[in-house]
């Protein structure tokens, strides 16, 4: 963030844990931790024309409790991969390796000495199927 630069990052694209640590330190430095709702999933946001505010519905993931919050400014930073689409491709049921979506990446996965196929943004299943048939 331009108002709180971090010249101590270990590399140009640091690991998630390093970025999270930075974000938490900025929240603490600017005393906004009490305004952050962790472990919650987005349910809905409704615009209230009469008050010019948003009514947010969140669900506390540990308990399932529904929370409502009214705000004047709403910035959605949930990311596109919070709830990924399922990956379905012909022959998947006989594949013996791991299939992992980047939104569900686990820290225990290692790619060392593995053959990896990345199906990314813009890939067409038809093209991917043709690639499988060629190999």
- Reported as a single tens digit per residue, the pLDDT across 76-131 is 766 655 667 777 888 888 988 888 887 777 888 888 888 887 776 554 444 444 44
How much is the pTM? 0.48
- Reported as a single tens digit per residue, the pLDDT across 104-115 is 778 888 888 888
Residues 6+ apart with CB under 8 A from 132: 89, 91
Q: Would you list the domain boundaries of the chain?
A: 16-71, 92-134
SS (H, E, C) 49-69: CCCCEEEEEEEECCCCCEEEE
Structure-model confidence comparison of residues 38 and 28, the more confident one: 28
Say which residue the tokens 């990924």 belong to.
Answer: 84
Residues 6+ apart with CB under 8 A from 9: 18, 22
Contact 58, 69 (CB under 8 A): yes
């Amino acid at each position: 963030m331009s108002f709180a630069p971090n010249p101590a990052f270990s590399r140009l694209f640091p690991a998630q844990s390093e970025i999270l640590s930075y974000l938490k330190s900025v929240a603490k430095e600017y005393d906004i931790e009490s305004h952050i709702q962790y472990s919650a999933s987005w349910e809905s946001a409704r615009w209230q024309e009469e008050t010019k505010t948003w009514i947010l519905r969140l669900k506390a993931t540990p308990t399932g409790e529904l929370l409502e919050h009214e705000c004047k400014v709403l910035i959605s930073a949930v990311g596109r991969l919070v709830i990924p689409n399922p990956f379905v491709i012909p022959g998947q049921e006989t594949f013996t390796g791991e299939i992992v979506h980047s939104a569900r990446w686990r820290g225990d996965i290692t790619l060392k000495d593995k053959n990896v196929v990345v199906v990314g943004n813009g890939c067409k299943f038809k093209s991917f199927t043709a690639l499988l048939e060629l190999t």
